Amino acid sequence: MEHPVISFQETHHEINGKPLYEKRFSKVLSYHNGIAPVYTEIDKKKVAYFIDYSGDNIFDRYFIQAFGFYDGLAAVCDESGFFHINLDGKDLYKNRYAWCGNFVENKCSVCDFEGNYFHISINGERLYNENFIYVGDFKYGIAVAVLKNGKSVHIFENGIRVHNMEYDALYPYHKGYAVAKDSKGFFHIDKSGKELYKERYAELEPFYNNKALATDFYGNKLIIDYDSLGMAQSSEHFLFDDELVKQKIYNTFARDAFSFFDMRILYAVLELGILQNIKINKSCEIIDINLDKTIKDLLISWLEHYGYIKNNMLTIKGEAVLDIKDVICYWQSLPYNTSCYLMESIKNNCEFFSNIYGAKFFNFIKNNQKYSNYFSFISSFYSSDYSNLNIQLSNEIVCDLGCGSGALLDALKVKFPKITPVYADLIDNRINKNSEFYNIDFFKPLPSNLNADVYIMSRIMHDYNDKDALIIFKHIADKMKKDNKLYLFETVLDNSSKGITVSFHILNMLGGRERTISEIESLLNKAGLSIINKNLCSGTISLLEVKKND
């Protein structure tokens, strides 16, 4: 007997275009093991059950939902929840779940009534203790699991990680390689979690006999040849001719060249208080803001078009933008205005901020509360970049030099409650001001009464040129004792493009730059300091442990 297929109407099954049975259902699913789930109405109530090739109810059981048999087991749902049955229609186990997947490789994804995802065995028993916000099917003994932080990992059936990498998205391994996604796009990884190449793509498929289809960020389709990876010739082969590829690139750059204006409009909306006005008044009339009606109507149309408001209310997108108003307004004010003179910074290898505002950046915000508040907020906002770095503390006095918002040391205090935190900066921009604070100037000796066992500095040294950075390191070295430690949280340049755009911003605003590990070591050595430990991270921030030379 040929395998029955679902009819176009999905109301019955057919073989060679002929109905397999006379009955008609609301919906049918595919046959597996000679059994198919179907949906129909009985006494005006939607029910599901399983049929044989004759269309008859094979188990004499009814469910709310029913799915096909995989590995001889089917997921079903009744009033008690989701569970599995075997080919005899009997319950496989006593447990009930909010959702069940299908058994693959004798393992199944389930979700409990508290929203936790994990895998179970054919006995209905958990395979591991950890909970996830989602888990996929096992393939070749490896599954994708999504952590509570939104990152994806690969796990074995006992829940142990296949590798230590976390990515924005992961897909199952296929022939030893998996598709992964980070903030820059899609790429392939091996079983150690390491990237096979530096390129990133907008869309990507698994390798199929050593070739993978990809789409770049211009919309061009191309083939990645595994055999060419790491070789001198390109591993990419475009599927269009050069003129079509160029045309797509032209269109992308033409669009991007004007795209900055949307952010300028949003900046104006936030500074004028329009989203705040809509939220408070629950109206798109823009009350109490003195603008021409035609301008108000234009702004409302723009906000609706881009999904910030709907039905006189802020959307989730609108709420989120309002939450990070200070981040957007900071970048669209001082840095944006200064970036208009980036060419001058490049030509003269210097900052241009002081030419516009009459003072160096940190002295300017010291005397301007609005921008000081903005800078404090973004310092706290970007502090999440430090979360994966391994620093060990116990009961030391820990001083954050250039503490900014204080978010980093606040987080360390939560993680290591026995430490004594001390904060130091040019001005006090801390969110929580319930601990000791010292006013310091990096270009003067540190206060004589400022003492600590451990000093930390985060994203400070890249703000300065080599001459100024050396002065700062020397002042710290003069303060440190032999048994003191200095932890540097900095972006460390490597052979990748990490930090390359930020480097232009730092030059333009501050006259500083990102550095390689050897350049940082050279500055430290000149100041009488040495690196004793390195945690060079693939992300934005790396951790360097420093001591004073004997």
Q: How confident is the model at residue 241 (pLDDT cuts 50, 70, 90)?
A: confident
* pLDDT for res 233: 43
Residue 539: band (very low, low, confident or very high) from pLDDT cuts 50, 70, 90? low
Instruction: Please give the Cα distance from 52 to 13 (Å, whole number).
Output: 11
- What the block records as the tokens of 534 is 């390195």
What average pLDDT score do residues 228-239 get?
60
503 Cβ neighbours under 8 A, 6+ residues apart:
513, 514
Each residue's pLDDT tens digit, 389-442? 678 899 999 999 999 889 899 989 999 999 999 999 998 988 888 899 999 999
Mean pLDDT to the nearest integer, 1-9:
92
Cβ atoms 136, 102 nearer than 8 A? no
Question: 150: closest CA among 183, 179, 178?
Answer: 183
User: Comparing 338 with 502, which gets the higher pLDDT?
Assistant: 338
Q: What percent of the chain has pLDDT over 70?
A: 95
Tokens standing for residue 316: 């989730």
**Per-residue pLDDT band at 95 (split at 50, 70, 90):** very high
pLDDT in tens, 248-290: 889 989 999 999 999 999 999 999 999 998 888 877 778 788 9
Question: In angstroms, how far is CA 155 from the centroid of its own chain?
Answer: 19
Q: What is the mean pLDDT of the chain?
A: 92
Instruction: Enter the DSSP assignment of 226.
Output: G
H or E element, residue 348: helix 342-348
At 39, is the pLDDT very low, low, confident or very high (cuts 50, 70, 90)? Answer: very high
Query: Model confidence over 474-504: pLDDT tens digits?
Result: 999 999 999 999 999 988 887 556 668 888 9
Tokens 């408001």 belong to: 309
Q: Which residue has the higher pLDDT, 375 or 303?
A: 303
pLDDT at residue 235, rounded to an integer: 60
Least reliable range by pLDDT among 23-37, 130-144, 238-252, 525-539: 238-252
The enclosing H or E element of 269 equals helix 242-272
- CB neighbour class for 497 (10 Å; exposed up to 12, middle 13-18, buried from 19): exposed
Token pair belonging to 354:
């002081």
pLDDT at 232 over 50: no
Asked whether the beta carbons of 438 and 468 are under 8 A apart, the reply is no
Query: What does the pLDDT read at residue 384?
Result: 56
For residue 531 the two structure tokens come to: 């690196």
What pLDDT was estimated at residue 1? 73
Task: Please state the φ and ψ torsions of residue 39, each to the nearest 5 degrees.
Answer: -120, 140
> Is the pTM value of this prediction over 0.75?
no
pLDDT at 246: 86
Q: Is the pLDDT of residue 59 over 50?
A: yes
Question: Minimum mean pLDDT among 225-239, 291-305, 361-375, 461-475: which range?
Answer: 225-239
Q: Each residue of 455-478: pLDDT tens digit?
A: 999 989 999 999 999 999 999 999
Neighbours of 403 (CB within 10 A): 28
Cα dihedral: 121, 125, 130, 133 (round 10) = 70
pLDDT value, residue 312: 84
Per-residue pLDDT averaged across 224-230, rounded? 82
